[in-house]
A and B are shown apart, each in its own frame.
Chain A
Amino acid sequence: MKGHNELVKKRGLSIRYKILLLLTSLPLITLTVYLILALRIFEEDKIAYVFDSSSRMSGTMAAQIKTQLNGVLGTTKPIFQDYLSQQKFSSVGESIFQNEFNLEALVVFKPSATGSYEKSAILEKVPDQTAGVLAQLQSQMPSYFAEVEASRRVVKVPFSDDRVFILEKVSDETNTRNTVFLVIVKMSEASEMFRAAMSQKLYLISTDGTILFGPDGTPGQKLQGTVSPQFLAHANKQIAQGAETDQGADGKELLVSYSRAGFGDLIVVTTVEKEKALGAVQILIRKSLIFFGLLISVTVILSLFASSGLTQALTQLFDATKKVAEGDFNIRVDVKSNDEVGSLADNFNIMAAEVSRLLDQTAEKARMESELQTAKTVQETLFPETQAKIGPLAIAGYYEPASECGGDWWHYCQIGNKIFLWIGDATGHGAPAALITSAAKSASTIIERLNITPAKALELLNRSIYDVSKGRIMMTFFLASFDLETGELAYCNASHEAPFLMKKGEGALKKKDLIPLNEVNNPRLGQARDSVYEQTTIQVETGDLVFFYTDGIPDIQDPAKAAWGEREFIKALIAANKDFPGVNESVERFAHSFQVHRQGAPLIDDVTFFVVKNEGLS
């Protein structure tokens, strides 16, 4: 359960939402970046366009104003010349004046003795009207004259209507006598154009910022009251045309274009509110946001649709892994897709099945090991005490199986006045061989009661083994009986390793003193049901030793898998028994020899040997 809880804790944001987040954030970020870049370019382009169009308009208007005013002067100059030549208006001059519809009045000013200009002649369409006008301008006139003295030509719109006052200074050849002509002309069309401009505001101003023509309510006021263009602050530079962005008096940004009319100090100015000029950008943003919304909605729907298949499969897998964490390995997932998730599901199913199989296998193995352990315990009961003394015969043995159960078996028993000594080795080792040794032990228990010779005993044992194994497993065997009274050893060999009789002589035991008990040999037990066995006898004198063993001893390997070998085996046997020691000492010495070689390496075959010694009856 701990593992299960940990599994649950690790679950954070669902993959479905991660996919959703990824698929929506990606186009959102991309489109936002695109929109910002596009808007910036669009805005710059739009401003450039507005500047271009408003500059063109201001230039056009400036040219038009200049043309109209030059036209007025072109008309009035013959009148000026006529007056200057005769010091009065002739009938020709008056005729020209009357024919010009826009001209309201023409007033001539000459310097007086004090230097100030005084009216000396007048032409007017409506009699006595001009006197009233001049009376209203009485206070401004000195400054007008001062300006015209300085700049020869001055244009004014003093009454904020469509009447334009042009003051023109004309000097004689010596430049000592100046005459100032005041032309009052109606410019209704021009005034209307400035008043009627819609998308952008048009102003006709003088250098000081005074608005001559403009939208309603603005003529006569200063342009600085609406906006303070930088070009007015640098009027001396006399730049003919330009455009700039300025802050309006109301705080709004204005796109300002200007063109000098080239007539007096007149300047045509256009202003456009930047916000209005860029109205299209706002529309673009609004439409883009709507498009974004639609796009994201479609993306979300598609993402949900696309991710549902994936997350459904993953959810199945997640649930399945939870089941596995809870110990249920029989869970399987049913994913139909052929992609990586499908492969993952297939692999999960294979893994779960394999784990399930391994668990079953492990349980089976544990059961078998338990059974083997039981078999080992049972088999241990088949072996006798490792040390015994029966009459003059001392016996000591050693047994170590290569695995839990072994195919070697040894035994001794007394039947009457004879000691029977049994040793056998079933084909192979392990549990199958152990079963045969068990059969051999069972049969021997009965045979022992029959008081028969070793040859007859092996004939019976052979039948027993054959009937049990049906020829599949055989057993080499050596059975001897020691006569306690005569010291005679009768033996019968069923193809087993011949034991060595070590006759006690005068000196130490030598190789040539080893007598293999191989005078008779017979088929292995279990090879054929009706095999006949022969036996022979040999005398075992007091002090003699007999070494019985199985073929696993020369095969003992060291950790490098080098076999001990027959030579070392014989050497160890001679060394262990050189002084004809007691059987316990003999076994201990011999076992120590092969353990030194073995160095703890596992056995490849069962190891069994025992030593008997005729110690005589003392």
Chain B
Amino acid sequence: MGKLDVKMNKAADKLTVQMAGTIDEDVDFSQFGLGGNPQIEVELSGLKSINSCGIREWIKWMGTAGPAQISFSNCPKVIVDQINMVDGFLPATGKVASFFVPYYNDDSGSEKNVLFRYGTEFSEGGVNPPASVKDEEGNEMEMDVIESKYFKFLKK
């Protein structure tokens, strides 16, 4: 098994892609063709990291999807960071359906990833974060990101 695990499941006009692991210079996306699918849903919760060489391969791979509507769900922070930073990382036809926002409590050291879903916690142009996020001990948690940077992609 390589560093990246990709599972593809095609049903009707929709291709579901589930990814887990690391995307780096060793990844070979050529075996996972995206072409010919009007709708693609990419599930990314298992993705751990991506480096600069992996970004190059990712953009090339996304280019093979053509005009397909691509929906990205459960995007971890590493993906959101790349979406914000790298122009073209999110394809022109791509939309983020849901993504994780890290929260933490500096006193207890507790951490939590809160899923922001389209239409609930965010929509085009802005976020509507939960009024309160608490850890298992009831401590109030705050966002572990710089909001103006992390939610930047929503303003495009």
**Hey, which bits of chain A sit against chain B, CB under 8 A?**
425, 427-428, 474, 476, 494-498, 511, 514-516, 518, 521-524, 527, 551, 566-567, 570
Tell me how many residues of B have a C-beta within 8 Å of chain A.
20
Chain A residues whose C-beta falls within 8 Å of the C-beta of B145 in the assembled complex: 566
Inter-chain contact A523/B87, CB cutoff 8 Å: yes
Contacts A425-B52, A524-B87 given: A567-B104 contact, CB under 8 Å?
Answer: yes
Determine which of A425, A474, A518 lies in contact with B84 in the assembled complex, contact meaning CB atoms within 8 Å. Answer: A518
Determine which of A497, A516, A566 lies in contact with B148 in the assembled complex, contact meaning CB atoms within 8 Å. Answer: A516
Chain B residues whose C-beta falls within 8 Å of the C-beta of A515 in the assembled complex: 148
Q: Scoring B residues 32 to 57 as 1 if CB is less than 8 Å from chain A, else 0, what string do you get?
A: 00000000000000000001110110
Q: Scoring B residues 124 to 156 as 1 if CB is less than 8 Å from chain A, else 0, what string do you get?
A: 000000000000000000001110110010000
Inter-chain contact B85/A496, CB cutoff 8 Å: yes
Determine which of B88, B144, B152 lies in contact with A527 in the assembled complex, contact meaning CB atoms within 8 Å. Answer: B88
Inter-chain contact B52/A516, CB cutoff 8 Å: no
Inter-chain contact A428/B152, CB cutoff 8 Å: no
Chain A residues whose C-beta falls within 8 Å of the C-beta of B86 in the assembled complex: 476, 495, 524
Q: Is the interface of A mostly helix, strand, loop or mixed?
A: loop
Q: With the chains together, A495 CA to B149 CA distance in Å?
A: 13
Q: With the chains together, A551 CA to B86 CA distance in Å?
A: 12
Q: Scoring B residues 83 to 122 as 1 if CB is less than 8 Å from chain A, else 0, what string do you get?
A: 0111111000000000000001000000000000000000
Q: With the chains together, A551 CA to B88 CA distance in Å?
A: 18
Chain A residues whose C-beta falls within 8 Å of the C-beta of B149 in the assembled complex: 498, 516, 518
Determine which of B51, B87, B146 lies in contact with A522 in the assembled complex, contact meaning CB atoms within 8 Å. Answer: B87
> Does B25 touch A at the CB level, under 8 Å?
yes
Contacts A425-B52, A427-B52, A428-B52 given: A516-B88 contact, CB under 8 Å?
Answer: no
Contacts A428-B25, A428-B53 given: A514-B146 contact, CB under 8 Å?
Answer: yes
Inter-chain contact A521/B52, CB cutoff 8 Å: no
Q: With the chains together, A524 CA to B89 CA distance in Å?
A: 10
Shortest beta-carbon distance from A334 to chain B in Å: 44
Q: With the chains together, A494 CA to B52 CA distance in Å?
A: 13
Q: With the chains together, A566 CA to B87 CA distance in Å?
A: 21
Q: Nearest chain-B residue to A511 (Cβ)?
A: B146
Q: With the chains together, A498 CA to B148 CA distance in Å?
A: 11
Closest 6 CB pairs of A and B: A516-B149, A495-B86, A427-B52, A523-B87, A521-B87, A495-B87
Q: With the chains together, A411 CA to B82 CA distance in Å?
A: 25
Inter-chain contact B146/A521, CB cutoff 8 Å: no
Inter-chain contact B52/A476, CB cutoff 8 Å: yes
Q: Nearest chain-B residue to A526 (Cβ)?
A: B56
Chain A residues whose C-beta falls within 8 Å of the C-beta of B88 in the assembled complex: 495, 523-524, 527
Chain A residues whose C-beta falls within 8 Å of the C-beta of B87 in the assembled complex: 494-495, 521-524
Shortest beta-carbon distance from A578 to chain B in Å: 16
A427-B53, A427-B55, A521-B85 known; 19 new pairs, CB 8 Å cut-off, are A425-B52, A427-B52, A427-B56, A428-B25, A428-B52, A428-B53, A474-B56, A476-B85, A494-B87, A496-B85, A498-B149, A516-B149, A518-B148, A518-B149, A522-B87, A524-B86, A527-B59, A566-B145, A567-B144
Chain A residues whose C-beta falls within 8 Å of the C-beta of B56 in the assembled complex: 427, 474
Give the one of B53, B55, B149 with max A CB within 10 A. Answer: B149
Chain B residues whose C-beta falls within 8 Å of the C-beta of A498 in the assembled complex: 85, 149
Chain A residues whose C-beta falls within 8 Å of the C-beta of B59 in the assembled complex: 527
Q: With the chains together, A592 CA to B120 CA distance in Å?
A: 42
Contact residues, B61-91 vs A (CB, 8 A): 84-89
Q: Nearest chain-A residue to B54 (Cβ)?
A: A427
Q: Nearest chain-A residue to B86 (Cβ)?
A: A495
Q: With the chains together, A590 CA to B144 CA distance in Å?
A: 20
Q: With the chains together, A551 CA to B89 CA distance in Å?
A: 16
Give the one of A495, A514, A515, A522 with max B CB within 10 A. Answer: A495
Determine which of A427, A474, A476, A516 lies in contact with B146 in the assembled complex, contact meaning CB atoms within 8 Å. Answer: A516
Q: With the chains together, A521 CA to B104 CA distance in Å?
A: 29
Q: Nearest chain-A residue to B142 (Cβ)?
A: A511
Shortest beta-carbon distance from A454 to chain B in Å: 15
Chain B residues whose C-beta falls within 8 Å of the C-beta of A521 in the assembled complex: 85, 87
Give the one of A496, A497, A511, A524 with max B CB within 10 A. Answer: A524
Chain B residues whose C-beta falls within 8 Å of the C-beta of A494 in the assembled complex: 87
Give the one of A521, A522, A523, A570 with max B CB within 10 A. Answer: A521
Chain B residues whose C-beta falls within 8 Å of the C-beta of A522 in the assembled complex: 87
Q: Nearest chain-A residue to B60 (Cβ)?
A: A471
Q: With the chains together, A518 CA to B59 CA distance in Å?
A: 20
Shortest beta-carbon distance from B76 to chain A in Å: 13
Chain B residues whose C-beta falls within 8 Å of the C-beta of A518 in the assembled complex: 84, 148-149, 152
Shortest beta-carbon distance from B78 to chain A in Å: 10
Q: With the chains together, A570 CA to B143 CA distance in Å?
A: 13
